Amino acid sequence: MKTLILKVLCTFYNYYNKGSTKMIAYESAILAVLLLLFINFATIFSIYNYWSNDFIKLPTISRMVKYIVSIIALSILLFIFKKIFSEDEIVLTGECIKNNPLSKYILLIYVILSVVLFLVVVLKAN
């Protein structure tokens, strides 16, 4: 699993390592993978009805507290990903992936299918 995530990170890193995002390519790649993982987990939870109105709304908790908890959770995940996948490791693996242009097309198709599946599941649930 680590190898697959590393390859996805490298593909995103190679994409962001151009132009104006060159300075923040590592952080952008990690955030893109976290967003993709969130979409996939949200799709799975929606399919199995773990996303209930009570879970999303949580009426007893204020919106500010929800934002703070979300920011803390994202920060923890970002910290864990940075510890597991160092920038040097991504750069070294990224050189191998640069020679394989098929990987970016596979990732693009996967991202599009993930978003479409997420939208279908969420719209069907409502």
Beta strands in 8-83 (DSSP E): none
Out of 24-33, 57-66, 108-117, pick the least confident. Answer: 57-66
Q: How remote is the C-alpha of 43 from its chain's centroid?
A: 13
Q: What is the C-alpha to C-alpha distance for residues 70 and 10, in angstroms, rounded to an integer?
A: 26
pLDDT band at 96 (very low <50, low <70, confident <90, very high): low
Q: pTM of the prediction?
A: 0.80
For 106, half-sphere exposure in the C-beta direction (CA atoms, 13 angstrom radius) is 9
Domain count of the fold of the chain: 1
Structural domain for 65, as ranges: 2-125
